[in-house]
Structure 1
Amino acid sequence: MNIAEKLEYSFPSLKHRNFRLFWFGQMISLIGTWMQNIGQGWLVLELTNSSFLLGLVSAVQFLPVLLFSLFAGVVIDRFPKRKLILFTQTSFAISSFILATLTALKVITYWEILALALFNGFLNTIDMPARQSFIIDLVGKKDLMNAIALNSAVFNAARIIGPGIAGILIGKLGYAVCFYLNSASFIAVIIGLILITVEGITPKTNDAKTKIFEDLRDGLIYIKNTPVILTTILMIAILSTFSMNFNVLVPVFTKNILHREATDYGFLMSSMGIGALIGALTLASVSKRGVKPVYLFGGGFGLGIFQILIGIQSNYLLTALLLALSGWFMITFISSANTTIQINAADEFRGRVMSVYSLVFGGVTPIGSMYSGTLSQKFGSNIAFIVSGIIAIIYTLYVLLFQYKKVYGTKV
C-alpha cells in the first residue's frame, strides 16, 4: 500500500474532490485567522492597555452568535449553503483588508476594531452553522465523522502555526502585515468554493411564504422531539459553558499558580493545541468504525479528569502535559458530538439544528467566561479548574446512567 492509498484508507473524506477543495482552503485561511486574532489582541492592548477592553472585543464578537443563531438557521435552510459561505468568506476578507489598511495608515482606533469585531460576529452567526452543515453535503454520512475530525485537525494545526508566524511578523513588520495576509488567505477558500460542484441541500417547502418564526418554531420542536439530538446538544451546552474556558483559566493559572510569564503561557496554549491536533487525527483515523458513543462519553470524562488533575498540582511541565491531554479529550468530545447531531438530523432541518449547535458551543462563550473569571477571582484558578472538571464528569455520568439507553440505544 503506497502513501496515497494509506492516506485514503485512514482519511476517506479526502477522496471526495469537493471536500478536498474546501479542506485545503480552510487550511490556509485558518492560519491567517489565528494570525489576525493574535495581532488584533496585542494591538488592542497597545492602544488601550486595558484587559477589560480586550475582553469586550471578544464578547462583542460572540454577542451576535448568542442573539441571532436561531434565526440564522432558518436562513441557512432556505438558501444554498455554498453561496452563503461564499458571501461570508468574501465579507471576512474585506473586513480584514479594512482593518489592515486602517492599521497601516496609523489611523486605527479601538472603536473601529470593536465595530469590525461586531461585523465579524454577525458574519460568524451565518458562517459557522453553514460551514458545519455543508460538510455532510461534501462527503455524505459515511465519511462525515472523518471529515469533521480532519476539520478539527486543521483548526488546531492553525492554532499552533498562526500565532508563531504572527509573533515574528509583528516584531519585524508590524500588525498590518498580519491583517493583510489574513485577508489574502481567504482567496484560497473562495477559489475552492467556486470550484465545488454542489450547492448543499436546499429543501423546498410547500409554502414558500412560511414565516421565519414558524420555521424557527418547527426547528426547535424537531430538536425537542429528537432525543439523540436534544441530549447531545445539552451535553455540548453544559460542557462548553462550564468546562471549556481554557482561554480564561490558563493565563491566570500560569501567572498566579505557576508564577510564569507570557512566553510560558504561549507554550502551554501550544501544548493544548498539539494535544487537540493529535486527538483530532486519532479520531479521524478510527472514524471508519463509525460513530460510537464511547468517543462522546470518553471525551467528556477525560476532559473532566484532566482538568481536576491540572487544579491539584503546580508543576509547569506537568501542566503542559495535562493541558495536551485535555485538548485531546476535548476535541474527541466536540467532534463526536458534532457528528452525532448531524448524522441524526433530517436534511430539511440541518441548518436550524446546527445553528442551535453554534449557539450552545460558541454563543455561550461570554457566559462561560464570566463564570470561570468570577470563580477564579474568588477562589483561585486551581479551584476553578477542579470545579469545571467535576461538572464535566457529573453531567456526563448523569447522561450515561439515566438517559443513555433510551437515547443512544447502543453499547458504549
Structure 2
Amino acid sequence: MTARSDRAPSGTGMFRSLRVRNYRLYASANLVSLTGTWMQRIGQDWLVLQLSGDSGVALGLITALQFGPTLLLSMYGGVLADRYDKRRTLVVTQSLMGLLALVLGVLVATDGIALWHVFVLAGALGAVSAIDAPVRQSFASELVGPELLANAVSLNSTIFNSARLVGPAVAGVVIGAASGDTAPAFFANAASFAFTIAALLTMRPGELRRSPPVARARGQLREGLRYTWAHPDLVLAMALAFVLGTFAFNYQVTIALMTREVFDLGAQAFGLLSTCFAVGSLTGALLSTRRSVRPRQRFLVVSAVVFGLCSIVCGLMPGYVSFAVMLVPTGAAALVFSVANNSFVQLGVEPQMRGRVMALYFMCFMGGTPLGAPLIGWTSEHLGAPWGLILGGAVAVAAGVGAALWLARGRRVRLEARVRPPALRLHVGPRVTATTPGRPADVP
C-alpha cells in the first residue's frame, strides 16, 4: 500500500480518519495526554480552593492567568505554525508543558506550595499553550488532508471529551484517596506528555501533507488580521467564539463553586459533576463526526442559542442530582457549537493562512477568558454560584440572537420549532433587493 493510499479517505464512518497511520498515532497518544491534562485541571482548581479559602475570585484569576497569554502570544504561535515544521514545534511545546506539570507536583509533594506558585506556573503553562494551540489545530490538516479534515476536527473533540470524561473522575478518586493531596494528579499529567512526544517522533514525515512554508517577512501578523477581516463569515464565527468563550465557557469555575458552595461536597463530587458535563460533551462530539462538509452560518447561530438556554436551565436546577443530569445536555450543546465553529473556520481558510487564522480564532475563543472567568467568579461569589451559569447563558442567547439579526439583514427569515421530534431550525432566505417600487426581487 502506498503512502498516498494510506491517507486517502475511505468510507463515511465516524472514525474514518483513524485509517491514517499518523493520525492514529497522534490520536491515541493525545487521549492519554489529555486525560492527564484534565487530571491537572481538576487538581489545580481544587488546590486553589484549598489555598485561598474557597475564593471564587481566586479561582477565576487562576483561570485568567492560564488563558491570558493567549491574547499576547497566540498570533505569534500562528506565525510559527505557518513558518516552521509543526511536528517539531509540537515536540518542544509538549516537553515544556510536561516540565511545568512536574514542577507543580514536586512543590505540592514537598509542602513548599503557595498560592503565588500556582499563579506563576499557570501563567507559564498558559504562555506555552498559547503557542501550542494554533500549531496543534493546524497540524490536523497535515495529518489527514482536506478530505478528512472535518472528521478529524470532530474526532479531536471526541478525544478531548473522552479525556474529560475519564480525567476528572480519576482525579477525584486519586485526590480523595490521598486525603486531598493533589500532587498525584500533577505527576500523572507530567508523565502523560511522554506519549504525545513519542507519537510525534515515530510518525512518518513523508506521509504528512505539509503546506508550503511561509517565508519570514514583515507584517505577517497584520496579514492574518486583514485576511480574516476581508471574510465576513470568518468575522461572525470569531465574534461568536469570543462572546461565548468569554462568558459561557467557564464551567471549570462554575462547577467547582456549585460543588463547594451550593452542595457543600468534596473533590469526588466535583469530579463526578465534571464527568457528567464530559458525557454530554462526548455525545455532542460524536454527533459531530458525521459531518463531512463545512457547517452553515445559521447552524452556528442556533447551536449558540441552544447552548445558552441549557446553561440558564442548569443554573436553575435546585439539587445536586438535577444539576448533574442537566449538565449532560449542556455539555452536548457546548460541543456541538464549538466543533461546528472550529470546522467552519478551518474549512473556510487557505492552507497558507490556516495557522494565523486559527491563532486568531483561539485568541477569540480563549482570549476572553481572562475577562470572563474573574467576572463569573465574582458574580458567583457575591450573588451565588447559580448566577454565574445564568449570566453566561443569557449572554450566549443574546449573542446568538444578535448574530441571527445580522444574518437576516435584507433576507426573509423563518424560525421553525418542533416538539416531536425535537428540532429548532433557522431558515434564512436569499438576500432581497428592490428592483421596482413595492416589488422585491431575490438575489443569490
The answer on 1:203 being equivalent to 2:219 is: no
- Out of 111, 121, 132, the residue aligned to residue 126 of structure 2 is 121
Partners of 1:130 and 1:351 within 8 A in 2: yes
Secondary structure in structure 2 of the residue aligned to 1:287: coil
The answer on 1:155 being equivalent to 2:160 is: yes
The answer on 1:64 being equivalent to 2:69 is: yes
Secondary structure in structure 2 of the residue aligned to 1:10: coil
The answer on 1:336 being equivalent to 2:340 is: yes
The runs of 5 or more residues in structure 2 that have no matched partner are 1-9, 412-425, 429-444
Aligned partner of 1:187 in structure 2 is 194
Aligned partner of 2:222 in structure 1 is 217
Gap change, CA 1:376 and 1:100, over 3 Å in 2: closer
CA distance in 2, matches of 1:385, 1:48: 22
CA distance in 2, matches of 1:293, 1:325: 22
Moved >6 Å (runs of 4+)? 404-407
CA distance in 1, matches of 2:37, 2:317: 34
Alignment of 1:170-319 (within 5 A): 170-172=175-177, 174-198=181-205, 201-205=210-214, 208=215, 210-211=217-218, 214-253=219-258, 259-262=263-266, 263-284=268-289, 286-288=290-292, 291-293=295-297, 295-319=299-323
Q: CA deviation at 1:32?
A: 1.1
The answer on 1:141 being equivalent to 2:146 is: yes
Gap change, CA 1:304 and 1:55, over 3 Å in 2: closer
Say what the alpha-carbon RMSD is for the aligned residues: 3.0
**TM-score, scaled relative to structure 1:** 0.86
Aligned partner of 1:22 in structure 2 is 26
Gap change, CA 1:345 and 1:111, over 3 Å in 2: same
Secondary structure in structure 2 of the residue aligned to 1:203: coil
Alignment of 1:84-123 (within 5 A): 84-123=89-128
Gap change, CA 1:22 and 1:389, over 3 Å in 2: same
Partners of 2:246 and 2:366 within 8 A in 1: no
Q: CA deviation at 1:392?
A: 1.9
Structure showing the higher helix proportion among its residues: 1
- Out of 20, 42, 45, the residue aligned to residue 41 of structure 1 is 45
Partners of 1:160 and 1:270 within 8 A in 2: yes
The answer on 1:364 being equivalent to 2:368 is: yes
Gap change, CA 1:102 and 1:380, over 3 Å in 2: closer
Aligned partner of 2:436 in structure 1 is none
Gap change, CA 1:55 and 1:237, over 3 Å in 2: closer
Partners of 2:86 and 2:135 within 8 A in 1: yes
CA distance in 2, matches of 1:171, 1:378: 28
**TM-score, scaled relative to structure 2:** 0.81
Aligned partner of 2:404 in structure 1 is 400
Letter in 2 for 1:373: G
Aligned partner of 2:434 in structure 1 is none
Structure showing the higher strand proportion among its residues: 2
Q: CA deviation at 1:30?
A: 0.8
Letter in 2 for 1:82: R
CA distance in 2, matches of 1:160, 1:134: 24
The runs of 5 or more residues in structure 1 that have no matched partner are 1-5
CA distance in 2, matches of 1:96, 1:7: 40
Aligned partner of 1:389 in structure 2 is 393
Q: CA deviation at 1:290?
A: 5.5
Q: Indicate the percent of aligned positions where both proteins have the same amino acid.
A: 34
Q: CA deviation at 1:301?
A: 2.0
Partners of 2:26 and 2:196 within 8 A in 1: yes
Q: Which whole-Å deviations, capped at 9, do the CAs of 1:271-316 have from their partners, x for residues lacking one?
A: 11111111111211x2246634464233212102212323444244
CA distance in 2, matches of 1:76, 1:30: 21
CA distance in 2, matches of 1:405, 1:196: 49
Gap change, CA 1:230 and 1:201, over 3 Å in 2: farther
Q: Which range is displaced more, 133-142 or 31-40? A: 31-40
Q: Which whole-Å deviations, capped at 9, do the CAs of 1:76-122 have from their partners, x for residues lacking one?
A: 22111111111101111222233333444444444443332222111
